[in-house]
Structure 1
């Protein structure tokens, strides 16, 4: 299953190398899950695997000291959105839970790039350069998900001066959940509200060793070991921790959040495609004899996966050209989440009763697939984003009429 992009020699080399590394992830997948289930209250580090290391290295901008990634005669020091999608898809084909447990700045980095000043970026990436470290992006809250309008985490100042952010420290209070690598991370980007208005969403850089911060792993049925929670009890945030202070007020919060999440949603979509591909190929390799109707079902899975994969890469191209447009990334995310769940469940049915017991890897993928729904906004959030985009663009123009019509 090739895409037009794969005809690019450099991108094809990256995909080929990532596909080889993905096999290493898969070989550790079940052991990693068992480890997380037996010690779900203990923070553990994932094994140092080549693909996880590459993802960590490539999440840092080129200007920071870090090793290059070699792939079939090509040298990579950072990635664009297209290369990021390729790596994410192939890593999820190996194992999505280990992908989400990768070190580096895979989720928080895009927000820091969009909203951070040069000094803030240096502080954030400087904590990662030259060593293995984890960061996290904290948006989701219990009861509200990633709905910015319903967010309850608060960023307040004891003596508020509405004219400036420059000289006042802030206090951060709230609770975040379903946060990737929350219990492993040493640095976080946390979203909170300074008020109820549309410009009152703000992001802060936070050292998770600060007083008032509590982090814990979150036991889950799928994506074991990947997610956690953050408690924020009157955590002091200095003025230099406020992302976007150097930007106009309209670009300090929601603008940067949308730009970053558009990229992250294409990554989540690529993850769903990778899981679906893995389930399809598992059936193809383990059911060598199929009835005509079973072959038709498997062919249908292949066609659906190819269609969503193409949609995902179209969305990647859209945000590379127009980072503020969130329509296609949201469509791709909804489609890929549904694809991953549907495909893994259907793949289990190829093996009859007891399939989850007899095929533990396929069972794991089915549970992991459900987690894609909650990454970077649920399908309901994505549909709101799609609606808002279409509503802003207005109704489609009427077709031209011919003479006499």
Structure 2
């Protein structure tokens, strides 16, 4: 797929901002675990928080192809920053677009898409990852003395991106234990609500500029108006955001891989061994050729999946393929970039070790590589 003129302009605008306001600070953010608030405000001003959200609801009015292109550019500057932006777009904004009523869209979607708020998605629990139907967090419906209906949420959510810095979270909780996955519902929970608490921040291998939190809900009360969709729709709502989310993570993977490749290419052309730049050695050229080819192949898989989604066609298999291939490719490319750098690739003076740490999680969140293979296998079983 070749980018059209308007999409090229979008890409170039984001690339320019990232090169000036994100990439130069990424190493410090990683070292100091600094949340990149100022850079995120700038990205929000460019329309990066609600890329596929219509302008009517505060978004950029673009599509998932544009989102893929934008996330690649942000991730090329800093993987952690791209994760914050990715989650806010999808699943947060995408779920609200699909299931929120107009009042909820006015209150939550518009500021989220504009970047005036930041969203989080609370599905995973300490003992519940890929099996979303096994949730233990509960939401109990109560009528208060004043006659107002509330839901009381209790439970723990794990590995929540932006859990500390988010303004509102989409929370999946069980409203009917006897109904299995049909007893799960979705709620909009402002993080300032009493009973929403950050139990701890995870000490991660990479992506230090993006907080990953354990969230504890204790007698956390939200009005009935904060129910998203209908009771029992939570499982469907949770799954609805995964296709776009997987396209986003695949795009992040390509962006980080590209950054590592470009660093390796520069280094290979500058570093001399045996009287010549190491790029002139065929073994190094072959390694770089494989890296470049893998990145481009992953990018085309992503753009194909995004084009299908933009056309309203099923893309579960294609999104899973894109995430599987891109995330595993990215780790290989980053490892190869370290190898090209030799000993310098293993120290923080050069960016490739940080990118390698940042990209590893792309094979885990939004469904592990094994889950993607299961999804692809199921799709193949139904073909022909």
Does TM-score exceed 0.5, indicating one fold? Answer: yes
Normalised by the length of structure 1, the TM-score is 0.82
In the other structure, the counterpart of 2:262 is 281
Matched, 1:384 2:374: yes
Q: Is 132-141 or 342-351 further displaced after alignment? A: 132-141
Residue aligning to 1:32: 29
1:168-227 Cα distance to aligned partner (Å, 9 max, x none): 532212111221211001111111223352322321111111111102533212000312
**Separation (CA, whole Å) in 2 of partners of 1:28 and 1:110:** 29
Alignment check: 8 A CA contact 1:52 1:99 kept: no
Q: Distance in 1 between matches of 2:153 and 2:108?
A: 19
- The CA RMSD over aligned residues, in Å, is 2.6
Residues 1:98 and 2:88 aligned together? no
Determine the C-alpha separation between the residues in 1 that align with 2:40 and 2:338.
31
Q: Cα distance 1:266–1:259, how it changes in 2: closer, same or farther (>3 A)?
A: same
> Which of 217, 220, 238 lines up with 2:223 in the alignment?
238
- Asked if the contact 2:51–2:63 (Cα under 8 Å) also holds between the matched residues in 1, the reply is no
1:207 and 1:354 map into 2 onto residues whose CA distance is 45
Q: TM-score, normalised on structure 2?
A: 0.86
CA contact (8 A) 1:137 1:180 kept: yes
5+ residue gaps, structure 2, are 270-276
| Residues 1:228 and 2:221 aligned together | no
Deviation at 1:304, TM superposition (A): 1.1
Give the distance between the partners of 2:13 and 2:119, measured in 1 at CA: 25
**What is the rounded CA distance, in whole Å, between the counterparts of 1:44 and 1:177 in structure 2?**
22
Alpha-carbon deviation of 1:154? Answer: 1.9
1:244–1:95 CA distance, 2 compared to 1 (3 A)? same
CA spacing shift, 1:149–1:48, aligned 2, 3 Å: closer
Shift of 1:46: 4.8
Change (3 A) 1:203 1:383: farther
Counterpart among 10, 13, 17 of residue 9 in structure 2? 13
Whether the 8 Å CA contact 1:187–1:205 is kept in 2: the answer is: yes
Deviation at 1:334, TM superposition (A): 1.1
Of 226, 238, 243, the match for 1:262: 243
Write the distance in 2 (CA, Å) between the matches of 1:187 and 1:358. Answer: 35
Aligned match of 1:307: 297
Task: Structure 1 unaligned segments of length 5 or more: list them.
Answer: 38-42, 67-76, 160-166, 397-405
8 Å Cα contact 1:175-1:229 kept in structure 2: yes
Q: Which residue of 2 aligns with 1:185?
A: 166
Residues 148, 65 of structure 1: alpha-carbon distance in 2 compared, 3 angstrom cutoff:
closer
Change (3 A) 1:229 1:5: farther
TM-aligned CA deviation for residue 273 of structure 1: 0.7
Aligned length: 365
Q: Secondary structure at the match of 1:353?
A: helix
Q: What is the alpha-carbon distance in structure 1 between the residues aligned to residue 359 and residue 88 of structure 2?
A: 23
**Structure with greater proportional helix content:** 2
